[in-house]
Amino acid sequence: MPYGIPLRCCYSHNIHNLLTAGRPISTSYIAFASSRVLTTGSVVGQAVGGAAALCKKYACNPKDIVRSHAPELQQLLVKQDAFIPGVANADARDIARTAQVSASSEGALAFPLSQSFHPARLPLAQLFPVSTERLEVIELLLKSSLGAPTQVTLALREAQHVWDFRSSRDLTSCSAVIQPGFEGFIPFALNTKTEPGKLYYVHIDAHEGIAWALYEEEVGKPSLVPVGTTPADLPPGNQWRPFTGGKSFSIRLSPEQRPYSAMNLVRGGTRPDQWTNFYMSDPVNSVTQWIELRLPRPKRFNQVHITFDTDCNRHVDLPLYRSPECVKQYDIEAWVEGQWKVVAAEGDNYHRKRVHSFDPVVSDRVRINIYETNGAKAARLYEVRIYD
C-alpha cells in the first residue's frame, strides 16, 4: 500500500479491544519519512505492551486506559527506561526517591579542546548547565584570520531544556577584542547572577574571519562532550539549529561548574532534558568508585534498578561494539547487621538498564561499587531505583 494512504479498516467502531503496534499511521509523505523508522515502531510497541498489561490488570478496554490510567501507564514505561518528555519518576514504590546520595568523587563540567575551528559565518551558540549562583568569566577558544582587531560580543540567555534555543532575551552581554591572527582563549567578564540547577547558553554574532574551536567525537572512542550541553548555529529564518553527533564548542567557565552530582541519580530523569539528570565520577581519579544511597530509616527491599550511560546520542555501527561509557564491573551492597553485604554483582555488563533481584534485606544504606568501565575514565550513571 502506498505511503500515506489512510487505513480506514483500522478505525472500525466494532473493535473495542484492539491495540496496534509498529507503524500503523496515516500521514503525509514527509511525516511518514520519520515516523516509519524501526526505532519509532519499537517504542510504540513498548507502549502498546504496557497498555495491554494494564487492560488485563483492570479488565478494561484501551480507551479506558487513556481516561483513567494514563499516568500509571506513563510511570510503567518510564520505569522500563522509556523516555516521555516532561514525565519524571513519581513511583511511590521506589524507595530510592527518599534517599540522600553521596559518592567517592564527582566530576566537573569540562569542555574538550579542539584544533578544528568552525567559522562564524552564522551566529554561534553553546548551551550548558550551571550549578553556581554566579558566572564571572566565560572564555571562548577563538581564532582570527583578519588583519585588524575585531570586537566580539558574547551574550547569555536562559534555556528550558538541552535543545532549547528559543529565548531571544539577553540576560547580560559583554565584548572583547581579538587581535589580528590571534588563536587562543578570549575571556568575557559577564559577572552576572545565575540560578543553580538551570540551563543557559551563550551566543556570538556572525563574524567573517572569526572561528570558534569545535570538538567532534571520534567513532568508537569514549565520549568527551559534556552531558547536558548543545552547540548550535543560526541560519536565516531566526531558528537556531542544534549540532548533533557528538560536538561541542570549546569554552571554559568560572567559577567551575559541577552539574553531575550523585543526587542526580534520584531526581527522576534518565536522560538530559531540563537538567543533566546524570552522575559522573571525577575522571582524574581511578575508575574504582562507590555511590551510596542512605535512606531516612531501614527499609525492606529485594530489587535494585540501575540505568547506566550508553551514550544514546551517538549511532555507532562497529561490529560487537560496546559503549565505552557503560559500567562493566560492579557490585551492590547493603548495610546489614553492622557490615556491608554483597547482594548482587556483575562482571561483564554492557547494557544500559539492569535490574538486580536478590533475597530480601532490611537496611538503610545501599552502596554500588564500580570497578571497571568498558573504556571510559569515569563512572557514568543516570538513575538508581530500589524496590521491595
- From residue 169, how far is each of 156, 200, 202 by CA, in Å? 9, 12, 11
- Amino acid identity of 313? N
**Rounded to 5 degrees, what angle do the CA atoms 260, 264, 270 make?**
105
- pLDDT class of 314 with cuts at 50, 70, 90: confident
CA 119 to CA 142: how far, in whole Å?
Answer: 10
Give mean pLDDT, residues 296-317: 92
Domains, the chain, with CATH or none = 8-68 (no CATH), 95-107+260-387 (2.60.120.260), 117-254 (2.60.290.11)
- Amino acid identity of 218? E
**How much is the pLDDT for 363?**
98
- pLDDT class of 6 with cuts at 50, 70, 90: very low
- pLDDT class of 1 with cuts at 50, 70, 90: very low
Q: What is the pLDDT of residues 36-82, one digit of tens each?
A: 777 777 888 899 999 999 999 999 999 999 899 999 999 999 999 99
By percentage, how much of the chain surpasses pLDDT 70?
97
**How much is the pLDDT for 18?**
87
By percentage, how much of the chain surpasses pLDDT 90?
82
Peptide bond into 255 cis (omega under 30): yes
How far out from the chain centre does Cα 261 lie?
Answer: 14
pTM of the model: 0.91
Is residue 12 pLDDT above 70, yes or no? no
Is residue 3 pLDDT above 60, yes or no? no
Size of the chain, expressed as the number of residues it contains: 388
How far out from the chain centre does Cα 383 lie?
Answer: 11
- Mean pLDDT (the chain) is 93
Q: What is the pLDDT of residues 208-252, one digit of tens each?
A: 999 999 999 988 889 999 999 999 999 998 899 999 889 999 999
**How much is the pLDDT for 13?**
60
Helix (H) or strand (E) holding 58: helix 38-58
